[in-house]
Amino acid sequence: MAEVQGYFDPRFESVRALFAEQQSDEQARGAALCVTVGGDTVLDLWQGVMDKENQQVWEQDTLVNVFSCTKPLGAVAILQQVQAGTLELDAPVARVWPEFAVAGKDQITLRQILSHRSGLSAVSIPLPPEALFNWPAMTHALEQQTPWWQPDSAHGYAPVTYAWLLGEPLARASGESPGAYINQHICQAAGMDFFVGVPDSDLERIASVSRLRNQFGDEYARALFMSMGQPESLTAKAFGNPTSMMTSTNRTEWQQAEIFSANGTGNARSLARFWQLMAHGGSLDGVSLLDSQLVNGMQREHSAGMDKTLLAPTRFGLGCMLEQDYEGGGYGMGPQAWGHPGAGGSLGFCDPERQVGFGYVTNTMGPYVLMDPRALALSRELARCLQQLD
């Protein structure tokens, strides 16, 4: 495999070396890592291949599906509308989406949805595969859905429904489709090479995603996959209804949809840029995504304990995951870190105390529920380097 490409600050050479070592694994295909500290980029690395035939080299501008790393961008989009006064965090969602106010959902708020407390982690009635790409079909299904538990009494991660639960209010408040809104007001505004709905001209830059073989994850991953084998379980419905959620990753239809819970497409550099801004309270060097008070609200604990969907202990702020309280569940940077992992290994987060923005992406998916060991090892080595510099 080709040598690691890109830039690194010599003070972080051990992180570059670890990244290279990870990419020497026989199953590794492509990956990228970018880290900012303060206003500076200290690591911007990439290596490997982007196609399943191992013929096409991973380039500086290669894109890849980062799955749930997209969720915080959707949260910022909603909070921008809160900042503008067109939405309210603690008002019933039904004020802007009247059709939602049935089946026990008339008092559900945006805050509850953002913190995974709405009870709407999945649609219970089986949906046809094509429904995933039919915005009205998915919103109608959620309008008719009864909460799986009493809203705000517990929490359960909404891996995919999050996109419509927040996207429909966003569209009604802003007058723009959710993907178009995020692309303009977050990605373009911040200078990110990132899309929720990739234009035709950029499709050829997208890496093909595959899974690691003979990898079974930790105890939480095994429990999750066992539950996913029970068709009527909340977990199975959350990840597999419609069934196309599990089979569409490399399809153009998925890449061009506007499902900001799971189908954001970008690179490590863009994730690091987003989290660089979050590490600085939402604004840096004349670019402002969000008021610092709302950014502070994002990182305040709203949910903690056993997650009804993931079947693991989780802690959430608003649209983001906080540092978890068990080995392998956190960001490797200490209790102040916050961000979001993506299925299979991608990770974006910040450490406000050290002003770190971190982005890692891969097209070789691992089986872990929260943090992938590859990203976590890189984060821990980064923390060690930073500690030496203090």
Indicate whether 79 belongs to any domain: no
Token duo for residue 77: 């989009």
pLDDT at 108: 98
Q: What's the mean pLDDT in 263-285?
A: 98
Residue 128 in tokens: 């046809």
Q: How many CB atoms within 10 Å of residue 54? A: 12
When the pLDDT of each residue in the chain is averaged and rounded to a whole number, the result is 95
Distances (CA, A) of 45 to 7, 10, 33, 337: 6, 13, 5, 22
pLDDT of 219 reads 80
**pLDDT surpasses 70 at 269:** yes
Q: Which residues pair with 300 in a beta bridge?
A: none
Q: Note the pLDDT of residue 385.
A: 98
- pLDDT at residue 2 in the model: 64
Confidence of residue 220 (pLDDT cuts 50, 70, 90): confident
Q: CA neighbours within 13 Å on the CB side: how many for 283?
A: 8
Is residue 267 within 8 Å of residue 41, measured between CB atoms? no
CA 53 to chain centre: 27
Instruction: Tell me, yes or no, whether 136 lies in a domain.
Output: no
pLDDT by residue (tens digit) across 62-91? 999 999 999 999 999 999 999 999 999 999
Q: Quick check: 13 pLDDT over 70?
A: yes
Which of 7-11, 129-133, 228-232, 277-281 has the least mean pLDDT?
228-232
Q: What contacts 181, CB < 8 A, 6 or more positions away?
A: 77, 170, 171, 174
382 Cβ partners below 8 Å, 6+ apart?
A: 12, 15, 35, 43, 332, 333, 356, 358
Instruction: Identify the band that residue 1 occupies on the pLDDT scale cut at 50, 70 and 90.
Output: low
Give the domain extent around 279: 5-67+199-212+256-303+315-389
Look at residues 107, 362, 332 and name the one whose alpha carbon lies nearest to residue 215: 362
Residue 207 lies in a domain: yes
Among 39-53, 58-72, 191-205, 324-338, the least confident range: 324-338
- Residue 235 within a domain: no
- Position 167 scores a pLDDT of 98
pLDDT of 328 > 80? The answer is: no
Is residue 112 one of the residues assigned to a domain?
A: no
Pick the closest to residue 156 from 217, 239, 231 (CA basis). 239
Report percent pLDDT > 90 for the chain: 87
Facing residues of 211 across strands? 365
Q: Does 140 map to a domain? A: no
Question: How many residues comprise the chain?
Answer: 390
The position carrying tokens 């068990």 is 326
User: Domain holding 34: CATH number?
Assistant: 3.40.710.10
The residues, any chain, with a CB within 8 Å of residue 334's CB and separated by 6 or more, are: 323, 351, 353, 383
In this prediction, residue 317 has a pLDDT band, given cuts at 50, 70 and 90, of: very high
> Mean pLDDT over residues 21-31, rounded?
92
Give the confidence band of 252 by pLDDT, cuts at 50, 70, 90: very high
User: Does 100 fall in a domain?
Assistant: no
- What's the total number of domains in the chain? 1
Q: Kindly report, residue by residue over 27-61, the tens digit of the pLDDT.
A: 889 999 999 999 999 999 999 999 988 899 999 99
172 in a domain, yes or no?
Answer: no
